[in-house]
């Protein structure tokens, strides 16, 4: 019986003299006395509550201040020793060797799985559990799992732990996240270990690092806090793409689609240099207008330079990278968030008929300049609302755009004449592609 129950029964018991009424204060004092007495008994006879509070373990440790150099060094060294110890607890390459499989895929049941676990070394114990077996058990009618699948699972887990330890070594604050400078140092020191980057000149390293880091921060730091959780880095596929460059035989197609490859980085930086006509290392609005097919509207470009970080009205390479990442990944929520902020001219958190018309008028003007008959805004507006199907029939929120899976089409219609023309003539283009395919089949 706990102290609360004892106290409740004592208070519920009849008083010695029910005819004698006690004041409210007396009743409160008596209740407090009883509470103190039984609580002290319940806690092992401690009558001094201060003595009890002293036994609470310490759970907060203040971080050293910037001027406490000795404490900072001590903390860094202790973290390094801790991470080294964790690294030694992981399976190494020799321990991860598996004999080649011949013939049908080898399977193992739970009983034998446990027997292997008993004979495995202490480093392997964490993998030979019922939880792991259940994760890998799928449709085998005999209740077995694939040995190769299990091996791949172990490899992936070890790789994640190794990578987490490697990233944590660059976590200067020791708080589980990397700042921009931390991630820059990590990637800079990673370059010599990636054979696909052997051809990069050292003078280009700083631009390559900037290009690589921006992708992490653009997608993983949407609130622009200047730091990313190490867990988020491990959970996304970007690190896999980056470490894919260890493959010496990586295909040309894979390199072209990998943002972190040398050809991709050189392409993006080369575009930046080509746009920079006055060679001052920055892009003006006029220079940026030549991006892509040079058919983005001036209204949209005005919003880019109003909302994005610029220096004396010009854009640097880092800001340009955000711009490119947004336009090349318009299906992604982070990219839609970037563009939505530019389209939300009234900063209301939604797009209404006025804001849609504001941007589409610029498309109509470009159509006139190119000798095309302008399309009715009313028709385009109705199509946009039909595509998005917002919760509010008069307002389109960012979440509406993301949920509709039509955000890339809607944003393209509003900011780029070439994109709008492609959308408007999509049926004719599809028919033309089919005809071309048929002609090739005939030949």
- CATH of range 283-443; options 3.20.20.100, 3.90.550.10, 1.10.238.10, 1.10.10.10: 1.10.238.10
Q: What is the pTM of this model?
A: 0.77
Share of the chain above pLDDT 90, in %: 57
* Residue-level pLDDT at 53: 61
pLDDT-derived band of residue 5, with 50, 70 and 90 as boundaries? low
Which pLDDT tens digit goes with each residue over 17-56?
A: 555 567 788 888 888 888 777 777 666 555 455 665 667 7
**H or E stretch at 263:** helix 262-275
163 within 8 A of 234, measured Cβ to Cβ: yes
Q: Residue 279 above 60 pLDDT?
A: yes
Structure tokens at 163: 């990578």
Rounded distance between C-alpha atoms, residue 417 and residue 338, angstroms: 20
Q: For residue 107, what are the β-bridge partners?
A: 146
Helices and strands: H and E segment counts in the chain: 23, 6
Interaxial angle between packed helices 377-388 and 407-415, expressed in degrees from 0 to 180 and rounded to the nearest 10: 160
CA separation for the pair 166, 162 (Å, rounded): 6
CB 300 within 8 A of CB 358: no
The answer, yes or no, to whether residue 437 has pLDDT greater than 60, is: no
Asked, colleague to colleague, whether 179-275 and 283-443 share their fold, the answer is yes
Give kind and range of the element (H or E) at residue 433.
helix 426-442
Task: Note the residue count of the chain.
Answer: 443
Which CATH architecture fits 179-275?
Answer: Orthogonal Bundle (1.10)
* Token couple for 29: 């004092």
- DSSP character at residue 235: H
Round to whole Å and give the CA distance between 370 and 374: 10
Domain boundaries, the chain: 3-53, 69-98+105-169, 179-275, 283-443
What pLDDT score does 48 carry? 57
Residue 146's DSSP bridge partners are 107
Report the pLDDT value the prediction gives residue 426, as an integer from 0 to 100.
78
At 235, the pLDDT band (50, 70, 90 cuts) reads very high
Cβ–Cβ < 8 Å for 303, 351: no
Whose structure tokens read 């091996």? 151
Largest CA distance in the chain: 114
pLDDT of residue 438 exceeding 50, the answer is: no
Question: What is the pLDDT averaged over residues 199-220?
Answer: 96
Question: Per-residue pLDDT for 59 more than 90?
Answer: no
Confidence at residue 440, expressed as pLDDT on a 0 to 100 scale? 46
Mean pLDDT over each residue of the chain, to the nearest integer: 86
- Considering the chain, what percentage of its residues have pLDDT values greater than 70? 86
């Amino acid at each position: 019986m706990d102290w609360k129950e004892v106290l409740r029964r004592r208070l519920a018991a009849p008083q010695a003299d029910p005819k004698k009424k006690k004041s409210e204060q007396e009743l409160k004092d008596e209740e407090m006395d009883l509470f103190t007495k039984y609580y002290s008994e319940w806690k092992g006879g401690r009558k001094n509550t201060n003595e009890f509070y002293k036994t609470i373990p310490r759970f907060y440790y203040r971080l050293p201040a910037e001027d406490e150099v000795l404490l900072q060094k001590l903390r860094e060294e202790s973290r390094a020793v801790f991470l080294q110890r964790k690294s030694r607890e992981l399976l190494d390459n020799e321990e991860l060797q598996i004999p080649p499989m011949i013939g049908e895929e080898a399977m193992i049941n739970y009983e034998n799985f446990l027997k292997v676990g008993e004979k495995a070394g202490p480093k392997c114990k964490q993998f030979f559990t019922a939880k792991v077996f259940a994760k890998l058990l799928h449709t085998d009618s005999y209740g077995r799992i694939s040995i190769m699948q299990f091996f791949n699972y172990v490899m992936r887990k070890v790789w994640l732990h190794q990578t987490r330890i490697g990233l944590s070594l660059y976590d200067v604050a020791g708080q589980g996240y990397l700042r921009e400078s931390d991630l820059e140092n990590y990637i800079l020191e990673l370059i010599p270990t990636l054979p696909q980057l052997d051809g990069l000149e050292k003078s280009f390293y700083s631009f390559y690092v900037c290009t690589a880091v921006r992708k992490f921060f653009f997608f993983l730091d949407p609130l622009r806090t200047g730091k990313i959780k190490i867990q988020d880095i491990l959970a996304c596929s970007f690190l896999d793409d980056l470490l894919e460059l260890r493959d010496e035989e990586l295909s040309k197609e894979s390199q072209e689609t990998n943002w972190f490859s040398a050809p991709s980085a050189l392409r993006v930086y080369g575009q930046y240099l080509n746009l920079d006509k006055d060679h001052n290392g920055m892009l003006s609005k006029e220079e940026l207008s030549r991006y892509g097919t040079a058919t983005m509207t001036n209204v949209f470009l005005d919003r880019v330079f109003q909302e994005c970080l610029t220096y004396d009205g010009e854009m640097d390479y880092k800001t340009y990278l955000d711009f490119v990442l947004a336009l090349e990944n318009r299906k992604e929520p982070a990219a839609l968030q970037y563009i939505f902020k530019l389209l939300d001219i009234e900063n209301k958190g939604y797009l209404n008929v006025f804001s849609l018309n504001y941007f589409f008028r610029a498309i109509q003007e470009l159509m006139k300049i190119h000798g095309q008959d302008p399309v009715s805004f009313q028709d385009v507006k109705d199509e946009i609302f039909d595509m998005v199907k917002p919760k509010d029939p008069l307002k389109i929120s960012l979440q509406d755009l993301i949920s509709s899976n039509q955000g890339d089409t809607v944003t393209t219609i509003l900011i780029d004449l070439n994109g709008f023309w492609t959308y408007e003539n999509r049926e004719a283009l599809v028919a033309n592609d089919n005809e071309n395919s048929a002609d090739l089949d005939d030949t």
